[in-house]
Structure 1
Amino acid sequence: MNHDSYDDAFIAGWLGRVRTIAVVGASPNPARPSHGVARFLALHGYTVFAINPGQAGRNIAGLPTYARLADVPEPIDMVDVFRAPEYLAAVVAESLALAPRPKLIWSQLGVRDDAAAATAEAQGIAVIQDRCPAIEIPRLRLPRLG
């Protein structure tokens, strides 16, 4: 897939299909974008899990926090990545090890690794890179879930 641009219907379709989201790299600091986006997604009706090894067992933005994706107690539809691009391949590998696998890996603004995306896509996981769902949801005027 070409990750230079995405059709609005593609983004809206995925945001309408997913229900559970794991935010990898969620920060306990309310000033950090990962904190605000996790909170936004939860307020928008998604079931959100924060992933941060140093904060496991605590809450981030009022959300349960786990050390790894494999620790989340229910299937994850979307993995939202707030890690530097060089870590995206490791997040893809961790996602591929899950059963069931996530349907979508979403990497945040400034996070792009086309080789990691190709690996996920070859295994049937869709990828959206270098975008923010907290920007796309209002831009596309998507309704709240539930």
Structure 2
Amino acid sequence: MIETYGDDETVRAILRDAGDTWAVVGLSNNRERAAYGVAALLRRMGKRVVPVHPRAETVLGEKGWASLREIPFPVDVVDVFVRSEAAGAVADDAIAVGARAVWFQLGVIDPEAHRRVREAGLAMVMDRCPAIEYGRMA
């Protein structure tokens, strides 16, 4: 059986050990969106937050990119704020660019994408929020 949500050990490993460059897919300058608040928290926790959004906006002082595949430097964790129907393609891009982990946000669920990510050897968390988990594990 596939563990679809990520246990505390996996959550802790991603937050502490997976690396400091987080690509946040779906991040824009809209401060009302959850992605913006999570990205701001990740920055406060010492992470480099790279916005990935079709508009490729600069967010929180970091240049944005239209897709993961356009980012010209290594990405450690891909944090996904898109609809579940679109998340699988993002997971495949995360594998292709050599990310170490994929994090699907609350409500983003794709068991097949989870399977592909895990089979590729990456850590994976699904339907959880790093902002909540940081607070819970502190």
- TM surpasses 0.5: yes
Between the aligned partners of 1:33 and 1:4, the Cα distance in structure 2 is 19
CA distance in 2, matches of 1:37, 1:124: 25
1:1-146 equivalences under 5 Å are 1-4=2-5, 6=7, 8-17=8-17, 18-54=19-55, 56=56, 58-98=57-97, 101-141=98-138
TM-score (norm 2): 0.92
**1:20-44 Cα shifts (integer Å, max 9, x gaps):** 1000001211011011111110111
Gaps of 5+ in 2: none
Which amino acid letter does the alignment assign opposite residue 115 of structure 1? E
**Number of aligned residues:** 136
After the TM superposition, which parts of structure 1 deviate over 6 Å for at least 4 consecutive aligned residues? none
**Cα distance, 1:51 vs. partner?**
0.2
Q: Which has the higher contact order (CA 8 A, sep 6+)?
A: 2
Deviation at 1:61, TM superposition (A): 2.8
Cα pair distance change 1:5/1:81, threshold 3 Å: closer
- Give the direction of change, closer, same or farther, for the CA distance of 1:132–1:4 in structure 2 (3 Å limit): closer
AA at the equivalent of 1:14: I
Give the superposed CA RMSD. Answer: 1.3
Q: Which amino acid aligns with 2:41?
A: F
How far did residue 5 of structure 1 move?
5.5
**Following TM superposition, by how much is the alpha carbon of 1:105 offset from its aligned partner in structure 2, in angstroms?**
0.5
Amino acid of the structure 2 residue aligned with 1:20? T
Is the CA contact 2:5–2:127 (under 8 Å) kept in the aligned structure 1?
Answer: no
Report the identity percentage.
Answer: 36
Report the CA distance between 1:97 and its aligned residue: 2.0
Query: Is the 1:89–1:113 Cα contact (8 Å) retained in structure 2?
Result: yes
Alpha carbons of 1:93 and 1:135: their partners in 2 closer, same or farther (altered >3 Å)? same
The one-character-per-residue Cα deviations of 1:58-92 (angstroms, maximum 9, x if unpaired) are 31233221111122232111000000101111101
Where 1:106 maps in the other structure, the secondary structure is: strand
Unaligned runs of 5+ in 1: 142-146
| Distance of 2:107 and 2:116 partners within structure 1 | 19
Q: Post-superposition shift, 1:10? A: 2.5
